[in-house]
């Protein structure tokens, strides 16, 4: 028995485990960098550059501003463009350059720069006969497209015409249209009596 104890005591105890450093696999490093890069790209495209006004699905403050309701002169111009496209754009073109043998141009037209009453007379009463626009003679017939419009709508259209396509002639108010209607007092002039 002594021999058995000697044998069991003569064994050396097992060595304690130690922590050893081993290199990290390269694929983990590459995967981590790739995920960081993709996260940065996603953030870049969807963050709005840290602007407090930008939330998904918008990507910039300019995009958010384009959807905001307009007020003041910008509102009138936006409304005027919509009414222009409905009533005037078919003949005069959405670019205001007119259409050959159909309607004269409004862009750069001397008629657009005239006083409000003279300008308002054309859509309110129509136009028949020869007219000269930008040095070119036109012989046409235009219906009274603006007669059915409210003062606010007609003033918005005339503001659009006077402020678009390089024209810088100022806005037209609804009160000015009301005064123009009163000045005409139901006597539609011909093209010859309209100022040139």
Whether residues 59 and 81 share a domain: the answer is no
- Kindly state whether residue 13 falls inside one of the protein's structural domains: no
- Kindly state whether residue 35 falls inside one of the protein's structural domains: yes
Whether residues 33 and 85 share a domain: the answer is no
Task: Tell me the chain's radius of gyration from C-alpha atoms.
Answer: 38
pLDDT computed for residue 30 by the predictor: 95
- Kindly state whether residue 6 falls inside one of the protein's structural domains: no
Whether residues 155 and 117 share a domain: the answer is yes
Q: CB count, 10 Å around CB of 14?
A: 6
Whether residues 122 and 165 share a domain: the answer is yes
Q: Does residue 195 surpass a pLDDT of 50?
A: no
pLDDT digits (tens, 9 = 90+) for 118-147: 778 888 888 777 877 787 777 788 877 777
For residue 51, give its domain range.
28-66
- Kindly state whether residue 8 falls inside one of the protein's structural domains: no
pLDDT computed for residue 28 by the predictor: 92
pLDDT-based confidence at residue 5 (cuts at 50, 70, 90): low
- Kindly state whether residue 55 falls inside one of the protein's structural domains: yes
75, 69 in Cβ contact below 8 A? yes
Whether residues 81 and 58 share a domain: the answer is no
- Kindly state whether residue 192 falls inside one of the protein's structural domains: no
Q: What is the CATH number of the domain that holds 123?
A: 1.10.760.10
What is the tally of structural domains in the chain? 2
Residue after which a domain boundary falls, among 66, 84, 116 = 66
Whether residues 86 and 171 share a domain: the answer is yes
Lowest mean pLDDT among 20-34, 142-156, 177-191: 177-191
Minimal CA–CA distance to 134: which of 86, 96, 95?
96
CA–CA separation, 196 vs 1, rounded Å? 136
pLDDT-based confidence at residue 12 (cuts at 50, 70, 90): low
- Kindly state whether residue 86 falls inside one of the protein's structural domains: yes
Whether residues 62 and 110 share a domain: the answer is no
Minimal CA–CA distance to 152: which of 120, 174, 130, 177?
174
Q: Does residue 9 surpass a pLDDT of 50?
A: yes
Question: CB neighbours of 174 closer than 8 A, spacing ≥ 6?
Answer: 150, 151, 152, 155
Q: Does residue 23 surpass a pLDDT of 80?
A: yes
Whether residues 113 and 167 share a domain: the answer is yes
Residue 158 tokens read as 């005339």
Whether residues 135 and 41 share a domain: the answer is no
DSSP state of 103: B
Whether residues 116 and 145 share a domain: the answer is yes
- Kindly state whether residue 37 falls inside one of the protein's structural domains: yes
pLDDT digits (tens, 9 = 90+) for 54-86: 666 776 777 777 777 666 777 777 777 888 788
């Amino acid at each position: 028995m002594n021999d058995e104890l000697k044998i069991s005591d003569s064994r050396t105890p097992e060595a304690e485990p130690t922590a050893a450093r081993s290199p990290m696999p390269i694929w983990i490093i590459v995967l981590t960098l790739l995920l960081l890069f993709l996260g940065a790209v996603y953030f870049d495209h969807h963050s709005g550059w840290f602007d407090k006004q930008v939330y998904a699905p918008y990507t910039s403050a300019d995009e958010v501003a384009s959807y905001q309701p307009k007020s003041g002169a910008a509102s009138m111009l936006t409304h005027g463009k919509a009414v222009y496209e409905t009533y005037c754009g078919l003949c005069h073109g959405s670019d205001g350059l007119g259409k050959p043998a159909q309607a004269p141009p409004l862009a750069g037209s001397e008629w657009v720069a005239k006083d409000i009453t003279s300008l308002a007379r054309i859509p309110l009463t129509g136009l028949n006969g020869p007219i000269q626009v930008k040095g070119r003679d036109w012989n046409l017939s235009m219906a009274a497209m603006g007669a059915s419009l409210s003062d606010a709508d007609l003033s918005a259209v005339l503001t659009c015409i006077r402020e678009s396509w390089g024209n810088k002639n100022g806005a037209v108010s609804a009160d000015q249209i009301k005064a123009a209607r009163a000045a005409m007092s139901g006597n539609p002039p011909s093209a010859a009596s309209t100022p040139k």
